[in-house]
Amino acid sequence: MTETQGPHRLETKARLPDPDAAYRMLVEAHRGLSDEESAALNTRLVLILANQVGDASLLADAIALARRADDGAPAQPSG
């Protein structure tokens, strides 16, 4: 599925060959960290991945999609 907003297309279908392993990797990265250390790790990771995306408009689309999920709306677009 692809989320279309503006001229950019945000890919929302799973692209990782093993999403469960990726999730476990993220969880493991936080193991043993305090809440503050965990938040700092998340901040660094988001900035690293935002740089990897390299497109401010696409990043804005991703933020909007994540915010909708935070508001209780489904993170995946329907249709």
**pLDDT (tens digit, 0 to 9) for every residue of the chain, 79 residues total?**
455 445 567 888 889 999 999 999 999 999 999 999 999 999 999 999 999 999 999 999 999 999 987 776 555 544 3
pTM over 0.75: no
Q: Is the dihedral of CA 67, 68, 73, 75 positive or negative?
A: negative
SS3 72: coil
